[in-house]
């Protein structure tokens, strides 16, 4: 946007834009964000805010090409790019290329219309990687097919994004029926819908489950959009929604090697009141310890959300095939599975996580490149 004219007062620079709108920039902001205060190589801030006067006095502002030349009473001079102040107008946050609008879903997402991407282009082509990541962030869940039948094939996709998240289960894990399990996933029993590791300070972000074999009778994977269920609860029972987003409950995992616990709400909201995280795992929920006058209402709210997880109108059921990998946002999408009979065939999924921060960082760079 081009500048029409500038107005200077002691502590404010007013920029009148060509569309007749205007923006006011406090002089402390102008001094704090002067480009000369950034390291030329790292672009990190070098300016010490406490070395700047609390209200710097601006004495002149002049348009010079694509910049504004600023002079202050203390003799400091600054050349501010118009593009910088246009992009960072006060009260107008900069758009984030890593953030994708969520598309909530219920039973309208099926095994037939779920979005699928082939593995090979994702490995070799950044545009294919970007398109798949955009879809996965928007829907919360996609399937990658045509993977090789070895454990490294799924990891290779995950590492195209960033570092693998290490948990108390390691950097990768094998979902199969095994003796002396320390997690219900390592049995053949039915797993109700849940999110993984809500007991962690920051639960893992995106989960990758690569199917290497699924020959047993049963073992269908089940998914549901936790955000969609939360929003329906907000509409139908605001009191229950508020309790689940305001009252923290204990989550805990413990075995002979770890005891990891935390108090957090089931529903986490951002500063705008939007749902940004679900922590729901009835098997890892500890003993509720909220005040007694809150407890009856909280149980009712908790049961209301639990009932939604059992409602088939939210469910997507898939029988994964060898060579397919489901990737989903573990802090949004609840997952589970039907029981299976290990005597009828082998079932083996290889899993890993990539944190949301890694995912969004990679997507931000990709969306800025295309």
CATH number of the domain within which 20 lies: 3.30.2020.30
Q: Which of 87, 106, 132 is the last residue of a domain?
A: 87
Residue 145 domain flag: yes
At 178 the pLDDT is: 62
Q: Which domain holds residue 80?
A: 3-87
Q: Tell me the per-residue pLDDT of 34-63, one tens digit each, with 9 for 90 and over.
A: 999 999 999 999 999 999 999 999 999 999
Check whether residue 141 and residue 181 sit in a common domain: yes
Task: Report the CATH number that the domain containing residue 175 is assigned in CATH.
Answer: 3.60.130.10
Check whether residue 33 and residue 153 sit in a common domain: no
Check whether residue 198 and residue 310 sit in a common domain: yes
Residue 37 domain flag: yes
Which residue reads 């009141």 in tokens?
273
The rounded Cα 238 to chain-centroid distance in angstroms is 24
How many C-beta neighbours within 10 Å does residue 104 have?
18
Q: Tell me the per-residue pLDDT of 179-188, one tens digit each, with 9 for 90 and over.
A: 566 666 677 7
Q: What share of the chain is helix, strand, coil (3-state, %, to 5)?
A: 30, 30, 40
Distance in angstroms (rounded) separating the CA atoms of residues 313 and 71: 64
At 109 the pLDDT is: 96
Determine if residue 218 is left, alpha or beta; phi over 0 gives left, psi from -120 to 50 gives alpha, anything else beta: left
CA angle (133 as vertex; 128, 137 as ends), nearest 5: 155
Check whether residue 51 and residue 154 sit in a common domain: no
294, two tokens: 């809150």
Check whether residue 278 and residue 172 sit in a common domain: yes
Check whether residue 64 and residue 177 sit in a common domain: no
Residue 59 domain flag: yes
> Which residues is 174 bridged to in the sheet?
350
Give the dihedral sign, CA 60/64/68/69.
Answer: negative
Within 8 A by CB and 6+ apart from 10, the residues are 27, 55, 57, 58
Residue 101 domain flag: no
Q: What is the DSSP string of 111-154?
A: TTTS-EEEHHHHHH-HHHHHHHHHHHHHHSEEEEES--SSHHHH
Check whether residue 146 and residue 294 sit in a common domain: yes
Q: pTM here?
A: 0.93
Check whether residue 62 and residue 139 sit in a common domain: no
Contact yes or no for 230/224 (Cβ under 8 A): no
37, two tokens: 């205060």
Residue 50 domain flag: yes
Number of domains in the chain: 2
Q: Which of 71, 87, 103 is the last residue of a domain?
A: 87
User: pLDDT under 70 in the chain at which residues?
Assistant: 178-185
Contact yes or no for 206/354 (Cβ under 8 A): yes
Q: Tell me the per-residue pLDDT of 313-358, one tens digit each, with 9 for 90 and over.
A: 999 999 999 999 999 999 999 999 998 888 899 999 999 999 999 9
Where helices occur in the chain by DSSP H, the ranges are 27-32, 82-87, 119-124, 126-139, 151-159, 226-236, 238-246, 295-310, 356-369
Residue 94 domain flag: no
Q: Tell me the per-residue pLDDT of 118-133, one tens digit each, with 9 for 90 and over.
A: 999 999 999 999 999 9
Residue 144 domain flag: yes
The rounded Cα 83 to chain-centroid distance in angstroms is 30
């Amino acid at each position: 946007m081009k500048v029409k004219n500038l107005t200077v007062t002691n502590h404010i620079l007013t920029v009148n834009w060509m569309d007749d709108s205007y923006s006011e920039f406090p002089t402390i902001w102008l001094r704090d964000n002067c480009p000369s205060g950034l390291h030329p190589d790292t672009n990190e801030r070098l300016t010490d805010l406490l070395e700047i006067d609390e209200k710097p006095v601006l004495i002149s502002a002049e348009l010079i090409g694509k910049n504004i030349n600023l002079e202050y009473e203390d003799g400091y001079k600054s050349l501010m790019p118009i593009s910088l102040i246009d992009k960072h107008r006060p009260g107008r946050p900069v758009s984030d290329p890593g953030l994708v609008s969520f598309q909530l879903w219920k039973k309208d997402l099926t095994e037939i219309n779920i979005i699928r991407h082939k593995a090979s282009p994702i490995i070799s082509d950044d545009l294919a990687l970007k398109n798949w990541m955009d879809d996965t962030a928007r829907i919360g869940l996609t399937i990658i097919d045509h993977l090789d039948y070895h454990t490294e094939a799924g990891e290779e996709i995950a590492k195209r994004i960033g570092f693998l998240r290490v948990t108390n289960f390691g950097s990768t894990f094998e979902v199969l029926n095994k003796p002396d399990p320390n997690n219900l996933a390592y049995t053949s029993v039915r797993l109700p819908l849940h999110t993984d590791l809500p007991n962690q300070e920051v639960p893992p972000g995106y989960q990758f489950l690569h199917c290497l074999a699924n020959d047993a009778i049963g073992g269908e994977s089940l998914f549901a959009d936790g955000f969609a269920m939360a929003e329906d609860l907000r509409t139908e029972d605001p009191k229950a929604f508020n309790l689940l987003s305001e009252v923290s409950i204990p989550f805990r995992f413990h075995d002979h090697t770890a005891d990891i616990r935390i108090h957090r709400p089931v529903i986490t909201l951002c500063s705008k009141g939007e749902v940004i995280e679900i922590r729901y795992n009835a098997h890892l929920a500890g003993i509720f310890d909220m005040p007694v006058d809150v407890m009856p209402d909280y149980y009712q709210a908790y049961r209301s959300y639990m009932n939604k997880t059992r409602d088939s109108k939210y469910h997507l059921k898939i029988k994964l095939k060898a060579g397919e990998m489901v990737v989903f946002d573990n802090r949004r999408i609840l997952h589970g599975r039907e029981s299976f009979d290990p005597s009828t065939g082998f079932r083996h999924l290889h899993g890993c996580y990539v944190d949301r921060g890694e995912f969004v960082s990679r997507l931000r760079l990709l969306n800025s490149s295309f």
